[in-house]
Amino acid sequence: MKTIKTIGLFILATSIVACCPCRKQKSGPAESFTGTNWELIQFEGRSFTPQDNYTITFTEEGKINGTGDCNRLMGDYSSTADGTLHIGMLAATRAMCPDQQMENRFVQTLQEVDSYTIDGQLLLLFNNSELKLVFEKVK
């Protein structure tokens, strides 16, 4: 039963990724996971624009840096070549944001991510095979 559920979740996640509106006309070579600046373009079914300021960068030293609605984020991460990703507790500056709840959900979701895929210019982050966040390489 668990195998059927896992296969079903995989098919659902694959379907969501395949028809994700953010993937329209995105193509090109795979991007490096580290040293690349990524902008959030989709979260919880909501499209984001560069003016929303949600970004992340992974360093080769195992650090993650980013921005939320109005705060800077920092922490540690570990990853493997097969796409496993673990992001530790993130620290943030303490400015009060206009949409603090959204930033809090963003941080919480990042900390729950367990895998990633790079598809051309896109970084797709998953939790339990469910697509949670979609980032695009900063041009």
State the greatest distance between any 2 C-alpha atoms of the chain, in Å, as a whole number.
47
In the chain, the number of structural domains is 1
Render pLDDT for 117-137 as a digit per residue (tens, 0 to 9).
999 999 999 999 999 999 999
* pLDDT above 80 for 15: no
Cα separations in angstroms, 97 against 1, 19, 72, 109: 44, 32, 11, 18
Q: Whole-model pTM?
A: 0.78
Q: In the predicted model, is pLDDT for residue 21 greater than 70?
A: no
Domain of 36, CATH number, reads: 2.40.128.270
What's CA 115's distance to the chain center, in Å? 9
Per-residue pLDDT tens digits for 30-87: 446 899 999 999 998 889 887 788 999 999 999 999 999 999 999 999 999 899 999 9
In this predicted structure, what is the pLDDT of residue 24?
42
CA–CA separation, 103 and 116 (whole Å)? 21
Pairwise CA distance, residues 81 & 102, whole Å: 30
* Domain that residue 127 falls in: 2-22+29-137
